[in-house]
Structure 1
Amino acid sequence: MIPLQDLLIFILAAFGLVITPGPNMIYLISRSITQGKKAGIISLFGIVTGFLFHILLVSVGITAILFAVPIVYLGLKTVGVCYLIYLAFQAIKPNSQNIFEARTDLPTDQPLKLFSMGFFTSILNPKIAIFYVSFFPQFIKIEYGSVFWQSIELGITQMMVSFSVNLIIVLTAAKTAIWFARNPIWMKIQKWFMASILTSLALKMALDKSK
């Protein structure tokens, strides 16, 4: 089992990931606004199911290889730090994307298609793939027990964080979009808050001398 302190840091990293604009969030917001909350929730279940694809890829042996080849671990750690800094910059750069500027050209789809589109949006999302491959090894240690089950534990934790945050977004997307449109200053505050979390996580990862 992963210690609670390490798990809480991972939860913060997962939270930082889920609140940054990306294909999953933009699709969910757009779908919720154009087709309603029910369509957004069905799409969300598809996205969360897609996370299982990434979890299995990590859990069946990728992390074991990383422990055997330290230079690979160092490389992925560097990728993780750089990616966090990139996300932080993307959040605050001039004319950065407003996540509540939803697409209005989405067609009305049936539940099965909503689920499948959410699923494929998730498995093809590079942000999720980079997070799983570069972040999981930071929190997995041989002394904590089975590498496989540690990966599963981290994966389930990330799924729960993502589902909870995205569910709130789906249920409040329309009202939140209107509120941010009327109060643009809070959108700037949200972006800087997001960037601060991501930068803090990048510094912690860069200074971590474990392994």
Structure 2
Amino acid sequence: MLTFALAVFFLIITPGPGVLSLAGVGAAFGFRHGSRYLLGLFFGTNLVCLGVITGLAAVMLAEPGVRTVFYVISVGYLVYLAFRIAFAGSKLAFIERTTPPGIKGGMLLQAVNPKAYAVNTALFSAFAFMPETPGLEVALKLLILNTIWTAIHFLWLWVGITLRRLDLPEKMQRAINIGMAASMLIVVALAAFAPH
């Protein structure tokens, strides 16, 4: 169980579309709107969990046409987001929107987030710690996953809010943007070169 918890921690804390966009919403719109977006990410990631656990995600993605459409949308969105971050100039601009994305936006992001599918597939297909009672194991995994997931996502929201409050020099702001964009492009590269 401890190995599973550590895997959850390290797989979720690494930058991906969910946490980077959450930090962006926090930086752009503050805690209240960031919390709504976080709630959408939470619902979305749990829907992905259920899709992985029930095998629905595997069945849908086994269809080459569906898999290709999902792949193009996912990679396209990640590249788009990375370029928006990288070319935001000297302003801290994780995202640039006039209205916050809200619960629906968080759910939609997780629906096309390849990291969400990869992480949940890894976590629920491995790390067996109660093989004699698989139903209880899945329930405990969901509890552990959601507890760690929530704490990490609130941490990323706080990072975004904190960065907004800092009066950083332009070079530092530019470096943050480029670092975040690079993180997004690494996710894109991993998705692009992963077996389909």
Range of TM-score over shorter length: 0.5 to 0.7
1:80 aligns with 2:74: yes
Q: Offset at 1:155?
A: 5.3
Query: Contact between 1:44 and 1:167, CA under 8 Å: does it hold in 2?
Result: no
TM-score by length of 2: 0.64
Q: 1:66 aligns with which of 57, 62, 71?
A: 57
1:37 maps to what in 2? none
Identity of aligned residues (%): 16
CA contact (8 A) 2:27 2:163 kept: no
Q: Using a 3 Å threshold, how does the CA distance of structure 1 residues 10 and 168 change in structure 2: closer, same or farther?
A: closer
Per the alignment, residue 123 of structure 1 pairs with 103
Q: Which residue of 2 aligns with 1:138?
A: 118
Superposition map of 1:22-101 within 5 A: 22-23=24-25, 25-28=27-30, 40=31, 44-61=34-51, 64-69=55-60, 70=62, 71=64, 72-93=66-87, 98-99=92-93
Q: Which of 176, 184, 187 in structure 2 is aligned with 1:190? A: 176
TM norm structure 1: 0.60
Match of 1:108 in 2: none
| Total equivalences in the alignment | 176
**SS in structure 2 of the partner of residue 197 of structure 1:** helix
Give the counterpart letter for 1:122 in structure 2.
Answer: G
Aligned counterpart, 2:151:
160
AA matched with 1:8: F
**Residues 1:79 and 1:186: Cα distance change in structure 2 (over 3 Å):** same
Tell me, which stretches of 5 or more residues in structure 2 are unaligned?
Answer: 129-133
Offset of 1:74 from its aligned partner?
4.7
Q: Partners in 1 of 2:7 and 2:47 — Cα distance?
A: 25
Question: By how many angstroms is 1:80 displaced?
Answer: 2.4
**Does the 8 Å CA contact 2:86/2:178 hold for their aligned counterparts?**
yes
